Every structure is written in C-alpha cells, then in structure tokens.
Copies of this chain bind each other. A is one copy, B any other.
Amino acid sequence: MAMTNKLTITLLLLISIAFSHCLAFRVEVDAEEFEPTHHEGQQEGPGGGQGGGSGQGWEEEATNNPFYFGKERFRNWFQSNEGFVKLLPKFTQRSSSLFRGIENYRFMFMEMEPKTFFVPHHVDADYVSLVLQGSGVVSFVTDKAKESFQITKGDVVRVPSAVTHFYTNTNETVPLRLAKIVVPDNNPGHFEVFLPSRSQSKQSYFNGFTKDVLSASFNIPEELVERLITGFQQTREGVVRSVTPEQIKELSEHATSPSNKHKHKDDKDDKDTTRIFNPFNLFKQDPIYSNDLGNFHEANPKKFSQLQDIDIGVSWLNLKQGSLFLPQINSKSTFVVFVENGCARFEMASPSTFQGQQQQQQKWSGQGEEAEEEQEEETSGQVHKIVSRVCKGEVFVIPAGHPIVTVAPEQNLVAVGFGINAFNSTRTFLAGQENVLSNLDNVATRLTFGVGSKLADKLFSSQNYSHFAPMVRSQQSPEERKPPAFQSIFNFAGF
C-alpha cells in the first residue's frame, strides 16, 4: 500500500494542477449558507454539556433533534430501593411522521439491585432483552413446565408474548441491568404488564374477576382469595423484592446455563419451544468487526431462531476512546441504540425535514444550520447534519438507509443496539478498506465526484483501517493532531 501511495501521490501532484480549474468552482460566499466557518464551538472537552451523564460535554442543544432521547424522556413504570423499570414513550409521540415505521416498538430498561426477585408477570407483547451488566436467573412458567436459565452480561433473552416469567438477581454485589425492545400485540406501541400477584401500587390481574368466580376457579373460599390475591393492602413489597441467600439458592438451583442447554437438549418435540426460551450470549460468537480500536458483536435473526419471528437483531459495540465506527448504512434495519457506558457522538445524514427543525441549532462543531422552510417535501436537496452527544442511559434512533458514524471522543464507549427488521438488512460501509464507494469503477467516480482519474482511484481508498479508525482531530486543536503520512502529503500538495 505504501508503495502504491508514493506512486499515486506523485501523480496527484500533477493532477492537482490540472484540477485547480475544476476546483475553482467552489464559491466561498455561498458555502457559508450550509457551513458557516466560525468555529468557536469546536473546543471540545469538559464543559457544561446538558445531554449526558458524564459531566463532559459539547455545546449542543439537541432538544429539537427527534432522533435523540435523553434520560428525562423515560418514564418510571416502577421504582423502589430494590430496582426500577424505565420505559421510553412511543417513538411516534416524538415525531409521528419520522417514526411511523417503528410505531409498534418500545424501548425499556430495568435494573434490579443485588439479591432481588422480580415477581412473575407477563406482557401482551413479545420482547427481546439484553443483559447489560450483572448475572442472575430468568425463569419461564408454562402450563407444561418451568424453565430457568442463568443469565449474564451479553446474554440475549427472548420472551414470547403472554408467557409468565420472572427474574432473580443472584449476584451479591452487582445490579442486574437489562435493555429491552418490546413489540406489542394488541395496540401498536402500547402494552400492559399483567401480574398474578399484588404488589405495592399494582393490582393482581385476578382483580379483573369477581370473587365468586375466583373462588370457584381455584376451589378455595372467597375470603382466602381476597386475603391472598385480590384484597387491597398497603404492602411495601414492590414488583422487585429482596430475597435471602437461601431463597436465591432455591430459585437458581434448577437453572440451566445457556451453553449446557444447547448441548444436551435433543427432544425433537420441545425443540421449538426450548429454542425460543433459550438465552444465548453475544460474546460467544466472534465479533463481526474487530480491530485494536473497537469491536462489534451482532446476533441476526438469520442465525438465531429466537429472534426470527420477531425479526430483531441485537448488537454490542465497544469503541475505544478517540476512535470512530466508520460511516455506514443499514439497508433495512432501524436501530434503537442505547449507550451503556461513556458518551457517543452520533453524526447522521438526514434529508428529511422534521417538525421543530427550524428552531434546531446544531452547535456541536459550531456550525449553526438554518433549515429552510420546506413545503415540497421531495424537492429539497439539502442534507441535515444530525449531531448528537448521547451518554450512558440515553437512546439514539438510526433510521434505515441513513448514513451514520459513531464517535467516541471522550472515553471508551459501550453501546448496544436493537435492529428492527433485521432479517434482510445488510450493513454497508462508506469509508474504510471495505468501502462501497471504492467499488465504483474509475469512470463512475470521475463523473460522480468531478475528479480526475488518479484522484478517483484514491478518493475512497486512502483509509487503511476497516470498520474502526482513529479519530484524527480537526485543525482547531493542532497540538493533538497526528495526521497520517498520506494526509500530510495531501497538505503538502497544496490542497
């Protein structure tokens, strides 16, 4: 590669002269219309950021950016000393036009303190959950049997509609954290939690029946029904409850570890049911992209039958501080991304005009952007810069087909993503060694980008990294800049 570079650079020097006329068409005045050159906002680093949780921040007012969901948008479904369940409102509540395609998906996450028990419940929805942290047991109860599985960080658990299940955090010190994507059955984007037992501020679903019917159904006295199940009580026991070490032992003693389950289960009849309940671990697969700067694990419904009918993929990104997950496109999947650790900077190209965008001020890099009033949706050729700082506990949504880049400027980043409509989706990179645009033939590149033959060859092939690359800093902070060899020659060449 190095030798080819030297050769081409020489040629580029010659081309640069030939092209100086072509490049002359850049009109400085009008350029400001899209990218004003005042860079006062680009001093990145610790500051009064209002988006994330780390205290570090870029100047940004993302309140009108509908793809970003800050912590304040979550609602508590339940909260106590033993844990909490937080639910993001319907995406269409944020933007009914942008998110109609994912109207029937909800994002939630929950945390259970060490040595706690989440009471049995079901929802009128399918869901997929991913263990972010901790370890415990998930148990499913059907009319045939109870099945319990040990779960740990990276485990993906598919919970089918209306199946009664419960969780135990068996760990003595670490909270059990799960992120979930929920697909309601009855009412798009709306689901209910059904509890057989009463808890603090939650009634049992048996309260939906009259006492005589319950008495007849269970063949026990009405009074007992009321005392044990339906009667109101000022119990302090929430849906998440503390348990003793002995109870933990009992609760986890029949739990199967996912890997063993996979090996020993050969019953053909139970195969389907078993598989759907059987958790699997993202980290037991090789990462699909990996280098020194990051790695990316992904489970696709093509491979994992648990994800098939729900058509959701699950992914886990580790990105080193100072690196970027190269620009890419997901062809069919909309990704709901949750930042588990650190802060991400997402940059996304959006030709859409959305409500409130007129007031939106993208000051991330000091680039104020004046969105024009667009009445004719299709005729605008403007591309909007959606730049968001998203920190631990926050969500960003990446629609299908939209170019996106993920950056970790502040610290190591851990982010997980649920890919909706994952089955037929593919990921295409727009930069890096496996860049789709480097497969354009020379003539097409020349015609498309208005460059000469040699520059056409180089334009999309100067990046030696694949998938993850170092974040070369802009010229505003020269002391940190470590330009690669090739770039310096470009500079030398007078570009």
Chain B residues within an 8 Å CB radius of A370: none
> How would residues 145 to 163 of chain A score, 1 for a CB under 8 Å from any chain B CB and 0 otherwise?
1100000000000001111
> How would residues 309 to 320 of chain A score, 1 for a CB under 8 Å from any chain B CB and 0 otherwise?
100000000000
- CB of A4 closer than 8 Å to a CB of B: no
Flag if A186 contacts B87 (CB, 8 Å). Answer: no
Question: Out of B209, B376, B386, which one reaches A385, CB within 8 Å?
Answer: B209
Flag if A234 contacts B143 (CB, 8 Å). Answer: no
Closest 6 CB pairs of A and B: A208-B349, A124-B401, A202-B381, A212-B474, A162-B331, A217-B431
Q: Please give the distance in Å from A22's CB to the nearest CB on chain B.
A: 9
| Chain B residue, CB-CB nearest to A406 | B213
Known: A210-B387, A232-B34. A486 touches B349 (CB 8 A): no
Flag if A185 contacts B486 (CB, 8 Å). Answer: no
What is the CA–CA distance of A45 and B427 in the complex, to the nearest angstrom? 56
Q: Please give the distance in Å from A179's CB to the nearest CB on chain B.
A: 17
List residues 201-236 of chain A with CB under 8 A from any CB of chain B: 201-213, 215-224, 226-235
List residues 423-479 of chain A with CB under 8 A from any CB of chain B: 424, 426, 428-432, 434-437, 439-444, 447-451, 455, 459-460, 462-465, 469-475
Known: A216-B324, A227-B26. A161 touches B208 (CB 8 A): no
What is the CA–CA distance of A309 and B424 in the complex, to the nearest angstrom? 10
Oligomer copy total: 3
Q: Please give the distance in Å from A124's CB to the nearest CB on chain B.
A: 3
Flag if B332 contacts A162 (CB, 8 Å). Answer: yes
> How would residues 384 to 428 of chain A score, 1 for a CB under 8 Å from any chain B CB and 0 otherwise?
111100000000000111110101000000000000010010101
Flag if B234 contacts A25 (CB, 8 Å). Answer: yes
What is the CA–CA distance of A382 and B208 in the complex, to the nearest angstrom? 10
Flag if B203 contacts A383 (CB, 8 Å). Answer: yes
Flag if A462 contacts B220 (CB, 8 Å). Answer: yes
Known: A185-B400, A472-B215, A487-B219. A365 touches B439 (CB 8 A): no
A sample of 23 inter-chain contacts (CB < 8 A) reads A30-B232, A30-B234, A31-B231, A31-B232, A34-B230, A97-B190, A162-B330, A166-B448, A185-B332, A185-B399, A186-B334, A202-B381, A209-B347, A210-B347, A211-B365, A211-B474, A213-B327, A215-B472, A216-B470, A217-B326, A219-B462, A219-B484, A223-B495
Q: Please give the distance in Å from A30's CB to the nearest CB on chain B.
A: 5
* Interface residues of A, count at CB 8 A: 170
Tell me which of A115-123, A128-136, A258-266, A281-289 binds B.
A115-123
- CB of A98 closer than 8 Å to a CB of B: yes
Flag if A206 contacts B403 (CB, 8 Å). Answer: yes
- CB of A139 closer than 8 Å to a CB of B: yes
Q: Please give the distance in Å from A470's CB to the nearest CB on chain B.
A: 7
Question: Out of B185, B199, B211, B386, which one reaches A381, CB within 8 Å?
Answer: B199
Q: Please give the distance in Å from A14's CB to the nearest CB on chain B.
A: 16
Flag if A447 contacts B401 (CB, 8 Å). Answer: no
Flag if B216 contacts A459 (CB, 8 Å). Answer: no
Chain B residues within an 8 Å CB radius of A33: 232
What is the CA–CA distance of A424 and B407 in the complex, to the nearest angstrom? 41
Flag if A233 contacts B25 (CB, 8 Å). Answer: yes
- CB of A6 closer than 8 Å to a CB of B: no
Tell me which of A49-57, A169-177, A243-251, A336-344 binds B.
A243-251
> How would residues 7 to 29 of chain A score, 1 for a CB under 8 Å from any chain B CB and 0 otherwise?
00000000000000001011100
Flag if A401 contacts B100 (CB, 8 Å). Answer: no
| Chain B residue, CB-CB nearest to A460 | B218
Question: Out of B164, B211, B449, which one reaches A436, CB within 8 Å?
Answer: B164
Flag if A213 contacts B407 (CB, 8 Å). Answer: yes
Question: Out of B163, B402, B471, which one reaches A124, CB within 8 Å?
Answer: B402
